[in-house]
Amino acid sequence: MYGRLPIAKMIAATVALTAAISVVMLSINWDGQEASTAAPKIDDLLNVMIVLSAFVFSLVMVMLGYALWKFKAKPGDESDGEPIHGNTRLEVAWTLIPTVIVLFAAGYSWKVLDEIEKPAKDPLTVDVFSQQYAWSFGYPGKGLKYVQGELHVPVNRQIQFKMHSQDVIHSFWVPEWRIKKDNVPGITTTAIVTPDKVGTYQLICTELCGFGHATMRAKVVVQPEAQFLKWAHELKDHIPSALKESIIRDTETNPVESLGAGGA
């Protein structure tokens, strides 16, 4: 009908375009500094997805470009196009290729999620309380220690954040850790992170939660374990009873294993 397609040339053009786009896209540091054990795994996953997306984009562009160039109407040609009843080979190809890509992406993502959420032997539990428009934190200790607006954690130890919202949905995000998890009123959600670089970072709310959302931030300090223990030991405040109740209430509707030593 249209003669044979120049398949080899189209494949070559697709590969070349994929490579060109990938080189540019992978040279950009999209996510910034990596400061948790999860970060390199998540960044690798993103890079693989970028290359796969570049491939799909290139394939579509090459085929579209070829069709535009090859089947352009001659000047003065006002006739209708040929009726087409389908093309089995093409339909099999455009079903199979995306299926393989999606299944691969699902499997790879599953593996990464499984690895980064694997519980460690000796995690530290930290309760996170979010409310319009502030963060506060509860630490295991006599009566549960409490601090507002500043999160301290030890380096190279797994932290299990148990998150409780007091009003609307907020979202816990430290960009350098890559981890992001919603805080949902009425249930306890968990985020697992192992920070692996000492430093000061920022906790950012990433769920539009009201008028002051953009200002809903907290300082994050990752420090050597000894310094962290000293800091935690010096905390004077205990968790306010309203927040303690939110732990119990949240935990009843969505049980989680532990509240940390000395929990309510």
Interface with Cu ion by CB under 5 A: which residues?
170, 205, 209, 213, 216
Smallest separation, CB 218 to Cu ion (Å): 12
For Cu ion, the closer of residues 135 and 177 by Cβ is: 135
For Cu ion, the closer of residues 156 and 202 by Cβ is: 202
For Cu ion, the closer of residues 124 and 184 by Cβ is: 184
For Cu ion, the closer of residues 66 and 133 by Cβ is: 133
Residue type present at position 181? K
Smallest separation, CB 178 to Cu ion (Å): 19
For Cu ion, the closer of residues 191 and 205 by Cβ is: 205
Smallest separation, CB 208 to Cu ion (Å): 6
Smallest separation, CB 167 to Cu ion (Å): 10
Smallest separation, CB 170 to Cu ion (Å): 5
Q: Torsion-angle region of residue 80: left (phi > 0), alpha (psi -120 to 50) or beta? A: beta
For Cu ion, the closer of residues 135 and 228 by Cβ is: 135
Smallest separation, CB 205 to Cu ion (Å): 3
